[in-house]
Structures are given as structure tokens and as C-alpha cells.
Amino acid sequence: MGAWGSGLYANDATCDVRDTYISFLEKGLRNIEAYAKTLEELEEYIADDEEPLLWYALAETQWKYGRLMPEVKEKALSWIDKKGGIEEWLESPNKGAGWLKTLEKLKAKLESPMPPEKKIRKPAKFEMNLWDLNDVYAYQFNKETSKENGMYGKYMLMQKIGEGTAYTGETKVTMRIHVFDKIFDELPSLDDVDGLRILPLDSPSRVTISRDYVMEGIPFIHKKKPIWMSGLITPARKSGYPKRYLTFIGNTPGPMNIRTNDREVDWEQIENWLNNFYSNWRGIEYDTVADGEYEYFGNNGDEP
């Protein structure tokens, strides 16, 4: 899975499941129909390593909206008991302690009284391709969670570097952005962009290098994986776009080398993924190699 943290929705798969299920409810489908359509739409997750993530996201979202189905709850709890999804974290320094804590919280939620069924309103039409090419905006951290790591009230810069299509209930054109790798205590200016490196929108564990090796006399070569340096940013609904916390800084030419990738991030979870990406890449060096492709060089630039 493409993960940027150990939170339930800090990976592509659970976000995909959550958004797909909600989109069917917003179209007026009954819960059983939205459930069936979600399984049909995302059948590639079934019998795959990411299957537990499907049931976690479905169960948590159904519970939140007062629609948790017994069979979904049973599936999710069964996977939790088996520590489903832990494989992604076994090579991490804490061996998945953060993920196990996430599963504990999810189990407690699913076994607690479910809230009343929420009315689903059709979302207002929202233009996802909001900025001009090369626009730079400062985002100000404002969530309670950002107080825990001292980010509250501070700023990060991001820039639109292109466009792409994303599916949020329907296929729409949205912005491709990159993020500048620096935290500002005060509102920065366009001059502050000069010389800043770009923050990877990726997990260091996804691009871990495997050494070359020989098996039965046959050489196996493992190429370094390109790091995802940008992403398509999408809002699930108009209310999710944090307009009041975004300040236009200016417009300046973006990078000459733009490499497209499968990374999608969303406005609703922006503080979570910015915090995770920023903390995950402290002390890790990387460099460009060709045509916008990036190569991971390990801690302090030393190849493992």
C-alpha cells in the first residue's frame, strides 16, 4: 500500500474505500446497495494483501455514518485479531507499533455503541482545479493534532506544477502539487522558495533499496525505486477545501522535470500527511537522476 503514516487513513487503500463508499451514498443508494457497489468497484482488494484495509475502512465509515452492517463488522474484527496489514510495517524501526495502536482504537470504536444514522446530503459541485500553473500558496497548520508536535500556527509552502485526472465519484481534472520541505514560523514570501528542496510525498520504506544478489548462479538486480515527489490533491467536498488557511504567495516557474505518479492526497487530511511526510524524511538525503525521477540514497546520503 502507498502509506505515509500509521493512521487508519494514512494510506491510499483506506482513503479509496472510504471515498468510494461515501460517493455511492451521496448518489442516493441505500446502504446495502452502496456496500455492494463498493465491493464491485474495488474487487481488486479482495484476496489481496490490502483486503484487511478494505474492511477496516468500510467498517469505520459505516460506523461513523450509523450504518455498520454485521458482516462488515465481523470481517473487520476478524482481520484486526489477525493484525491484518502489519506486514507493511515489519521492516520499520518500531515493527508496526503505531499500526497496532491504530487497530486497537478501531476495535474499540467498532465495539462501542454506534451513533444514529446520519443523513447523507449530495455534495455541492466543486471545482478541483483551483489554482493557476506555478501558483504558490502557504498553508497554515490549525488542527488540534498539530499542537502535539509544535506545528500549530506554522506554515508550509506548496505549488501547482501540473494537472491530472482523479476519481472522486466522477472523473475530474485536479491539480498536481509539490510541497517545499521547510516549516515557517511566520507567513513566508515568494523569495523564501529559492533553494528549498521538495518534500517527498512518499514513505521511505516504499523506496527501500534491495542489494543485488545471486541465486543459483543467476544475478538478480534490484533497481532503485523513484520517489513520489508530487501528487494529485483532491477534495471530497467543498467544505473540505481549507480556504481560510491558504494564503496566495505568488507565481514563479516550477520545476523543469515533472514525473507523474500514482500518489493522490486530499485536502481533508492535509495536516496528517504533511506532518507524516515531513517527519519521515528528516535526516534522509536523496537526489534527482533523470527526467524528474528521484532516487533514494539512504540516511545521510550513504547507500545501504
20-29, 245-254, 279-288 — which is least confidently predicted?
Answer: 279-288
Instruction: Give the residue from 94, 110, 126 where a domain finishes.
Output: 110
Please give the tally of structural domains in the chain.
Answer: 2
- Going by pLDDT thresholds of 50, 70 and 90, the confidence category of residue 290 is very low
Q: Are residues 152 and 287 in the same domain?
A: yes
Q: Are residues 29 and 158 in the same domain?
A: no
Is the predicted pLDDT of residue 99 greater than 80, yes or no?
yes
Instruction: Give the residue from 93, 110, 127 where a domain finishes.
Output: 110
125 located within any domain: no
275 located within any domain: yes
- Give the three cell numbers for residue 15: 482513503
Q: Are residues 105 and 148 in the same domain?
A: no
Q: Are residues 87 and 199 in the same domain?
A: no
- Give the three cell numbers for residue 43: 474487487
Is the predicted pLDDT of residue 65 greater than 90, yes or no?
yes
Q: Are residues 63 and 182 in the same domain?
A: no
pLDDT tens for 194-225 read 888 899 888 877 665 444 444 455 544 444 56
194 located within any domain: yes
Q: How far is CA 106 from CA 10, 59, 61, 134, 155, in A?
A: 14, 9, 11, 40, 31
Q: What is the pLDDT of residue 204?
A: 78
Highest mean pLDDT among 139-148, 174-183, 282-291: 174-183
74-78, 146-150, 267-271, 294-298 — which is least confidently predicted?
Answer: 294-298
Cα–Cα dist 180/184, whole Å: 11
DSSP run (H or E) holding 162: strand 155-167
- Strand, coil or helix: what is 95? coil
Q: Are residues 208 and 155 in the same domain?
A: yes
Cα–Cα dist 144/141, whole Å: 9
118 located within any domain: no
Phi-psi region of 291 (alpha: psi -120 to 50; beta: other; left: phi over 0): left
65 located within any domain: yes
Highest mean pLDDT among 51-55, 125-129, 252-256, 284-288: 51-55
- Give the three cell numbers for residue 177: 502539487
Q: Are residues 62 and 180 in the same domain?
A: no
- Going by pLDDT thresholds of 50, 70 and 90, the confidence category of residue 236 is low
7 located within any domain: no
Q: What residues make up the domain containing 199?
A: 135-298
303 located within any domain: no
Q: Are residues 288 and 139 in the same domain?
A: yes
Instruction: Give the residue from 110, 126, 144 where a domain finishes.
Output: 110
Q: Is the dihedral of CA 84, 88, 90, 96 positive or negative?
A: negative
130 located within any domain: no
Closest CA to 227 of 184, 290, 286: 286
Q: Are residues 166 and 93 in the same domain?
A: no
Q: Are residues 283 and 199 in the same domain?
A: yes
Q: Please give the average per-residue pLDDT across 250-263, as a whole number.
A: 77
Q: Are residues 43 and 188 in the same domain?
A: no
Is the predicted pLDDT of residue 153 greater than 90, yes or no?
yes
Q: Are residues 242 and 173 in the same domain?
A: yes
Q: How far is CA 266 from CA 20, 108, 138, 157, 241, in A?
A: 14, 26, 16, 16, 9
DSSP string, 238-288: GGGS-GGGEEEEEE----S-----S-EEESTTHHHHHHHHHHHTTTEEEEE
Cα–Cα dist 273/196, whole Å: 19
Is the predicted pLDDT of residue 229 greater than 70, yes or no?
yes
